[in-house]
Structure 1
Amino acid sequence: MYEEILERATKRREINDSLTRLIAEGLDLPIAPEQIDDDQPLFGRGLELDSLDTLEIVSLVEEEFGVAITDEDKFVFGSTNSVADHIEREIGA
């Protein structure tokens, strides 16, 4: 039981770390990936991303994880945690 929980937590951490790296590097943000908190808003007072950045994130996620984000899934852009939730649901992690 403990090993299963540890494995799931490790996989989740890997997804979140990959996402923050993708966002920081793929969008050429002026901050390091480790400075992006998992619950930091991606838009507004968070990372202050815009609609063009959304399209880039969609492309990066599809390329890295093989997971599509459709118009119906737009709610996932709250934070890296919410994007990671979507990826986990789609890949069944």
Structure 2
Amino acid sequence: MNELKLQLKQLIINSLDLEDVSVDDIDDSEPLFVDGLGLDSIDALELGLAIKKEFNVKIDANSEQTKAHFASINALAEFIEQSRNNA
């Protein structure tokens, strides 16, 4: 799963054009939104599309579970792994 987390970090940096952020700057358990990495709702939409395209997972934008999945790199990696296993 460490490779998946690395992929996710790189995807976040690339899809959101975070030029001043490196993979090492993103903590696996740190929040992605508001505190932590400081992403906002526009970033969430862009990131959701990038993840859907890259990993071919279904994301329900209005689901409370989706907010939990996007809480951190750890949560995103777990969500993608579960989605792959259920496919």
The TM-score, its normalising length taken from structure 2, stands at: 0.86
1:35 aligned residue: 25
> Partner amino acid for 2:3?
E
Aligned counterparts of 1:23 and 1:84: Cα–Cα separation in 2: 13
Give the percent of matched residue pairs that are identical in Structure 1 and Structure 2.
Answer: 39
Q: Is the 8 A contact 1:58 1:68 kept in 2?
A: no
Higher helix share: 1
- Answering whether residue 62 of structure 2 is matched by residue 65 of structure 1, we say no
Unaligned regions of 5+ residues in structure 2, if any? none
Structure 1: where are the runs of 5+ without partners?
A: 1-11
Number of positions where the alignment pairs a residue of Structure 1 with one of Structure 2: 82
Q: RMSD across aligned C-alpha pairs, in angstroms?
A: 1.4
2:78 is matched with which residue: 57, 60, 85? 85
With structure 1 as the length reference, what TM-score do the two structures score?
Answer: 0.81
- Return the match for 1:22 from 1, 11, 18: 11
The structure number with the bigger radius of gyration is: 1
- Post-superposition shift, 1:64? 0.9
Quick check: 1:21–1:33 contact (8 Å CA) kept in 2? Answer: yes
